[in-house]
């Protein structure tokens, strides 16, 4: 079945450091790929998405590129801030029907000043 694997956390970075959170997926066909963010005490929010190969999703300085050849969707940010501290979830969804999201385990990011 479909699955998402993302790097284990927690990840602790200093402010302005470069961030990469790896995500790979297993799925047949061409799923859509997502990154969701969960700030402390809040629900999930969509951070960015990509719906086809080579698409780049971007938002709030975060980027991720849909790489079908490596089945990856790594999240990057050039300079993290303390306010980026949160749990980040990689997820996929099929393009047809009402299939639900399949999530990775989440990666907790802590950014220290």
- Is 7 a binding residue for other proteins by CB under 8 A? The answer is no
Answer for which of 21, 37, 57, 104 binds other proteins (CB under 8 A) is: 104
Three-state secondary structure string covering the chain: CCEEEECCCCEEEECCCCEEECEEEECCCCCEEEEEEECCCCCEEEEEEECCCCCEEEECCEEEECECCCCECCEEECCCCHHHCEEEEEEEECCCCCCCCEECCCEEEEEEC
By beta-carbon proximity to other proteins, the closer residue of 17 and 101 is 101
Q: Which of residues 21-50 bind other proteins (CB under 8 A)?
A: 32, 34, 36, 42-46, 49
Which positions touch other proteins (CB under 8 A)? Answer: 32, 34, 36, 42-46, 49, 51, 89, 93-96, 98, 100-106, 108
């Amino acid at each position: 079945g479909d699955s998402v694997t993302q790097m284990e956390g927690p990840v602790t970075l200093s402010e302005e450091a470069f961030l990469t959170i790896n995500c790979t997926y297993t799925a047949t066909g061409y799923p859509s790929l997502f990154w969701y963010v969960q700030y402390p005490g809040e629900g999930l929010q969509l951070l960015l998405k990509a719906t086809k190969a080579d698409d780049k999703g971007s938002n709030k300085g975060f980027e991720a590129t849909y790489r079908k050849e490596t089945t990856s969707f790594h999240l990057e940010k050039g300079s993290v801030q303390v306010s980026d501290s949160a749990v980040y979830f990689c997820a996929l969804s099929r393009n047809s029907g009402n299939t639900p999201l399949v999530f990775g385990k989440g990666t907790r990011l802590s950014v220290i000043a």
